[in-house]
Amino acid sequence: MNKQTVSVNKGNVSIEHRKKKRAQASLYLVLGLLAAICLFPFYLMIMYSTHTNADITSTFLFLPGNHLLENLSRMVENVNIFRGFMNSFIIAGGSTALTLYFGGMTAYGFSKFKFKYNTVLFLFMLATMMIPAQLALIGSYRWLGMIGLLDSHAAIILPAAANTFAVFFIKQFLDGSVPDDVLESARIDGAGELKIFHRIILPMIVPALAAIGIFTFIGAWNNFISPLVLLFSEEKYPLPVMVAMIQGYYDTDYGLMYLGVAMSVLPIIIVFSIFSKRIMGSVAIGAVKG
């Protein structure tokens, strides 16, 4: 009797164990499938950019072709894609530099100085995050035209000096990890306020700057509607607008279009594969601490 119950129990355990294993396997299957769905369009995009128009229009392609250089040379003939790259770098790089420097400065002001209206101004700044960017679009269009900044990269880069999210993010970091004693001792040593900011604060907040910098760069690289509206000269277009232009002009040249999409996304893929942990970490910090 005793033996029997033991063996029955054993059977139960192993069935349960097997059930658990099966549940786990199907969980991994679902997670894997979802991961495949996330990557597949980008895989196709790269494969399709290596084929001729004739191949693309005739059948489903899964493997790479050998017409990448051909597509590339046709693209270079039709649109100045390298110019687009450079414009995107100027816009994204310039925006990032301004965001980091002035974001750090503003965050430092809010975090370490007890002036009148400090809290009120900070809350006011946070409230502006609720305002959608489109609200300023048409006003900006006329106003930038009046001060002669329309159709210039500056029109897109300059507003980055007032990046509310960056200030909020860097201030969190300053509040938490830069003690006031550091400032006091620097002041006793006779350092000026700006010097303290440049020599002491900026080096200390590098981790926060790195996180927000990557983010700003990606955001500025992907920005579409402002350059679409504020720039008119083709030689000033960043990649996303150039891709839209390719769609408008060469909408039957599929190899060219796939290649254009691939080239506009490739830098983002590279940035992400290098910094993915840092990027994902800063999403979480920025969202939850508020």
Partner 1 sequence: MMFAKRINKGNSGYFFIAPFFIVFLLFGLYPILYSFYLSLTNWDGLNDPEFIGLANYARAVIDPLFLQSLFNTFFIWIVSVVPQLTISLVLAVILTNKFLKGKDFFRAVYFFPNIVTAASLGLLVSLMFDWQTGSVNQLLMSIGIVDNPFDWKNNALFMQMLVSAILFFQYFGYSMLIYIAGLQGISPEYAEAARVDGASRVQIFFKITVPLLKPIILFQVITSLIGGVQIFDQPYMLTAGSGAPDHATLTSVMYLYRTAFEQGRFGYGATIAFCLFLVIVTLSIVSYLVSRNRSKIS
Q: Which residues 191-220 are close enough to bind partner 1 by CB under 8 A?
A: 191-194, 197, 218
Q: Which listed residue (50, 71, 100, 110) binds partner 1 by CB under 8 A?
A: 110
Distance from C-alpha of 87 to C-alpha of 143, rounded to nearest angstrom: 23
CB closer to partner 1 out of 4 and 128: 128
**Binding of partner 1 by 113 (CB under 8 A):** yes
**Binding of partner 1 by 116 (CB under 8 A):** yes
- Give the footprint of partner 1 on residues 241-260 (CB under 8 A): 241, 243-244, 247-248, 251, 254, 257-258, 260
**Binding of partner 1 by 177 (CB under 8 A):** no
**Binding of partner 1 by 68 (CB under 8 A):** no
**Binding of partner 1 by 152 (CB under 8 A):** no
CB closer to partner 1 out of 18 and 187: 187
**Binding of partner 1 by 188 (CB under 8 A):** no
Considering only the stretches 8-16, 66-74, 76-84, 275-283, report the one whose residues sit in contact with partner 1 under the rule CB under 8 A.
275-283
Distance from C-alpha of 178 to C-alpha of 172, rounded to nearest angstrom: 10
| Residue closest to 48 by CA, chosen among 243, 253, 248 | 253
CB closer to partner 1 out of 10 and 20: 20
Contact 220, 238 (CB under 8 A): no
**Binding of partner 1 by 106 (CB under 8 A):** yes
**Binding of partner 1 by 105 (CB under 8 A):** yes
Residue by residue, DSSP assigns 98-119 as: HHHHHHHHHHHHHHH---TTHH
Residue by residue, DSSP assigns 32-47 as: HHHHHHHHHHHHHHHH
**Binding of partner 1 by 75 (CB under 8 A):** no
Distance from C-alpha of 128 to C-alpha of 130, rounded to nearest angstrom: 5
Distance from C-alpha of 201 to C-alpha of 199, rounded to nearest angstrom: 6
**Binding of partner 1 by 285 (CB under 8 A):** yes
Distance from C-alpha of 267 to C-alpha of 160, rounded to nearest angstrom: 21
**Binding of partner 1 by 169 (CB under 8 A):** no
**Binding of partner 1 by 225 (CB under 8 A):** yes
Distance from C-alpha of 245 to C-alpha of 123, rounded to nearest angstrom: 41
**Binding of partner 1 by 72 (CB under 8 A):** no
Distance from C-alpha of 197 to C-alpha of 104, rounded to nearest angstrom: 9
CA end-to-end span of the chain: 63
Distance from C-alpha of 266 to C-alpha of 260, rounded to nearest angstrom: 10
**Binding of partner 1 by 272 (CB under 8 A):** yes
